[in-house]
Amino acid sequence: YVALLARSGIPPAVRADYMAECRLRFERQPGMSATHLAQVLAHGTADYDAQSALSGAYLLDDEPDHDLIQSFVAQLTPDNAVVMVSSGTLDPLMTELADRTTERVAVDADYGFAYRRAEARSDLLDELRAARAGDGPPDMQAALCLPAPNEYFPRRLDFKGTSLPLASPARAPLVPPAPRQLSLPSRHPLYHCLDTGFDDPVVHLRLLLRSPVVYATPRSAVLTSLLCLLIDDALVDVAYQAELAGLSYNVGYTHEGLTLDFSGYDDRMPSLVRVVLASLRDPLVVRDGAAFTRVHDGLVRRLASYATSSSHAVAKAGADSALTDLLYTSPVKLAAALDVTNVEEVERFLTDDLLEARWSPLLLVHGNATEAEARQYAALVEGAWPLCDPTVPVTSSAPCQVRRGVVLTAGERVVRRQRHPNPSDTNSTVEVLFQVGQDLSPEELAPLAVFARHADKFFFQQLRTVRQLGYIVWAGYRVIARVAYFRVLVVSTAAGCARLEREVTECVAEQRAALAALTPAEFAQL
């Protein structure tokens, strides 16, 4: 098999990389057999599917190399072939392909499904060859058909950027360029950055479609969530084909609007973007009652699981809701989700609210894409979704929502106490947050990160080891709605929240004193 792959047109550099990887695995695992090594190479080279491994020019041809397949099959014998048949049940097909005298039925230890292992009949390979040549039974020919061509497989894998030179150890590491804004006739914001560091033919797209209708009420937030889930369900075949070809996408939402993320080889990315954008505005895509029942039940169960959450998860959610506005909690969303009873409500929300709104787009194109291609992606978005005119002032009474963090004045103290909803969790959790500032730059966040790194070890030693207050002790920093906090979280079965809060506050003062006493040389070692 290795020799066949070497002659199949796979680029030498790719084959060399896989061979080097397999050799490392072989050296690190002395017990690995030569057959296992060949299988590792085969799986590594055929990252996508069996058709790809046997298609000749490494995914660059539309049609598989049938001569290569035949030469591969010709070398199979009952002694070197393993035939795997996958079926939803243990049906007669397996009996027809196996010798019942050596049959063994077992149950998989991990997943619990039954499977049957048998020695293949000596004439099985002859039957498979006949079926492949078109002379076998029709049902076997259909079962052995190769999948249809995958339109998302890349045909061009060239790198469009110029690689940055490697930084020498004596010099500071090279900083990749930041995305910059490109001008568009529509004046919608578009940011672009051509990758110069990874040398991969991969592009990443981040699209934010902003509108207040997405998160205006708990009901609209739930309907938006159901819409995203229904689109994922409807596009499962597209997602599978795209994943085989090295592409992926995600449709979600935030308080500002809908989010669409795309990642993968750039050659066929426009095709995937078109399909997802078209599905997003097509009422027929979400008009599936059975799919609605599935995704609605899953959403309700996820929201209801808040009642059985761990104490530290509840504490984190409580801090988020106390320190930000425009944040609907799980119990509030659960009540809204239970009020949505059929798929027609989601369809009306799409047609009457989402498609009637005017959206403000924000697009980032990063990776293996030129400026011209970034503008082409922007044109795809502008042609597929109802967008606002950025030159016309917004007169709507519902401006685009902006989640804001609560900014405390010096000396102000906010305390939120909440009884844990899970009666089986007897732990107490306290999260103490010290507000540092709002909209901090990376240069301003750096000292906070250094402080948090030292604090994590200090608080773990003091609260967990010395004072033995909690079995979980975290210290670090969080940014909630653009407001930065230094945080300490303790989960304890030995102390209540009042004592934990007091102990944490005392430790913060001790750590500040310990840091102030450090010499410059000692501080540099942190």
Say if 442 falls within a structural domain: yes
Shared domain check, 199 and 272:
yes
Cα pseudo-dihedral 133, 134, 136, 139, rounded to 10: 130
**How big is the chain by its Cα radius of gyration, in Å?**
29
More confident residue, 525 or 42: 525
Give the span between the Cα atoms of 274 and 198, in whole angstroms: 26
According to the model, what pLDDT value does residue 300 have? Answer: 93
Shared domain check, 269 and 191:
yes
Q: Which of the listed residues 143, 160, 192 is the one where a domain comes to its end?
A: 143
Sorting pLDDT into bands at 50, 70 and 90, what band is 61? very low
Q: CA 451 from chain center: how many Å?
A: 31
Report for 19-33, 118-132, 208-222, 477-491: range of highest mean pLDDT: 208-222
CATH number at residue 469: 3.30.830.10
- Would you say 385 and 211 are in contact if contact means Cβ atoms under 8 Å apart? no
Shared domain check, 453 and 350:
no
Say if 166 falls within a structural domain: no
**Tens of pLDDT along 318-345?**
777 777 765 788 888 999 999 999 999 9
State the maximum Cα–Cα separation within the chain, in Å, rounded to a whole number.
86
Q: Where are the alpha helices (DSSP H) in 340-399?
A: 343-348, 371-384
Q: How many domains does the chain have?
A: 3
How much is the average pLDDT of 105-121?
59
Structure tokens of 151?
A: 């339109």
Shared domain check, 359 and 434:
no
Shared domain check, 137 and 31:
yes
Model confidence at 396: pLDDT above 50: no
More confident residue, 153 or 78: 153
Query: Please, which residues bridge with residue 115 across strands?
Result: 106
More confident residue, 429 or 300: 300
**Tens of pLDDT along 243-281?**
888 899 999 998 888 999 999 999 999 999 999 999 998
Shared domain check, 345 and 203:
yes
Q: Which of the listed residues 93, 120, 143 is the one where a domain comes to its end?
A: 143
Q: Which of the listed residues 119, 143, 167 is the one where a domain comes to its end?
A: 143
Say if 393 falls within a structural domain: no
Model confidence at 231: pLDDT above 80: yes
Shared domain check, 112 and 236:
no
According to the model, what pLDDT value does residue 417 have? Answer: 78
What is the 3 state secondary structure string of 136-188? CCHHHHHHCCCCCCCCCCCCCCCCCCCCCCCCCCCCCCCCCCCCEEECCCCCC
Model confidence at 56: pLDDT above 60: no
Shared domain check, 289 and 200:
yes
Say if 217 falls within a structural domain: yes
Say if 242 falls within a structural domain: yes
- Would you say 42 and 1 are in contact if contact means Cβ atoms under 8 Å apart? yes
According to the model, what pLDDT value does residue 109 have? Answer: 57
Report for 37-41, 163-167, 448-452: range of highest mean pLDDT: 448-452
**Tens of pLDDT along 141-198?**
665 554 567 888 888 888 887 765 544 444 445 556 778 899 888 888 899 998 766 6
Shared domain check, 123 and 41:
yes
**Tens of pLDDT along 122-139?**
676 677 667 666 666 666
Say if 68 falls within a structural domain: yes
- Would you say 160 and 368 are in contact if contact means Cβ atoms under 8 Å apart? yes
Task: Flag the least confident range among 107-111, 280-284, 315-319, 477-481.
Answer: 107-111
pTM of the model: 0.64
Say if 148 falls within a structural domain: no
Shared domain check, 366 and 274:
yes
Residue type, 496: G
Report for 72-76, 171-175, 195-199, 397-401: range of highest mean pLDDT: 195-199
Shared domain check, 299 and 446:
no
Say if 417 falls within a structural domain: no
Shared domain check, 31 and 135:
yes
Structural domain harbouring 18: 2-143
Structure tokens of 131?
A: 């079926």
According to the model, what pLDDT value does residue 52 have? Answer: 41
Model confidence at 403: pLDDT above 60: no
- Would you say 374 and 182 are in contact if contact means Cβ atoms under 8 Å apart? yes
Task: Flag the least confident range among 101-110, 233-242, 363-372, 439-448.
Answer: 101-110
